[in-house]
């Protein structure tokens, strides 16, 4: 999309939100595929394999790391001359690609719609039990719960 610049009487290329989201999804999928096919590669190797701007791939790797989908750890690889090298390599997390199962009574994004049942047994270390019932120590001493 083009936007007219009044001051310079020229045009500026502007990405639409849909194009930007599609590009981000494409980069994320390329990074995930690269990590799956070539685990333990350093950042620079991931950037070369993805074939996109270095800053964009680094940003996506950081997002995946924050989300827990990917992580960095010491790794060994063989360089172009066949020498073993140690680096901080990228790996997919064990849960990458898995999805959370919603609790009964919820949808994927909804809050819990049924009350959570608490155990009827009071805490064994004193204090009051659930629903205002005294604990066994309080009951033995003939005390009421607050």
Is residue 133 situated within a structural domain?
Answer: no
Q: pTM value?
A: 0.52
| Ordered per-residue pLDDT tens for the chain, 146 residues | 666 777 777 777 666 666 778 888 899 999 999 999 998 888 999 999 999 999 999 999 999 999 888 999 887 878 889 998 888 889 988 765 555 555 565 555 555 454 555 555 555 666 555 555 555 555 556 555 44
Is residue 115 situated within a structural domain?
Answer: no
Domain hosting residue 21, numbered range: 2-96
At 44, which CATH number? 1.10.10.10
Is residue 128 situated within a structural domain?
Answer: no
* Spatial distance between the Cα atoms of 61 and 52, rounded to a whole number of angstroms: 12
Number of folded domains that form the chain: 1
């Amino acid at each position: 999309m083009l936007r007219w610049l009044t001051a310079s009487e020229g045009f500026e290329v502007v990405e639409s939100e849909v194009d930007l989201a599609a590009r981000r999804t494409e980069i994320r999928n390329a990074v995930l595929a690269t990590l799956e096919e070539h685990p333990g590669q350093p950042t620079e190797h991931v950037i070369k394999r993805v074939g996109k701007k270095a800053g964009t791939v680094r940003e996506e790797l950081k997002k995946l790391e924050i989300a827990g989908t990917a992580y960095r750890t010491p790794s060994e690889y063989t360089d172009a001359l066949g020498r073993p090298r140690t680096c901080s390599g990228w790996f997919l997390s064990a849960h990458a690609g898995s999805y959370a199962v919603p609790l009964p009574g919820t949808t994927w994004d909804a809050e819990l719609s049924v009350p959570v049942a608490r155990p009827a047994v009071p805490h064994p270390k004193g204090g009051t039990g659930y629903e205002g019932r005294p604990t066994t120590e309080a009951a033995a001493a003939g005390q009421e719960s607050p």
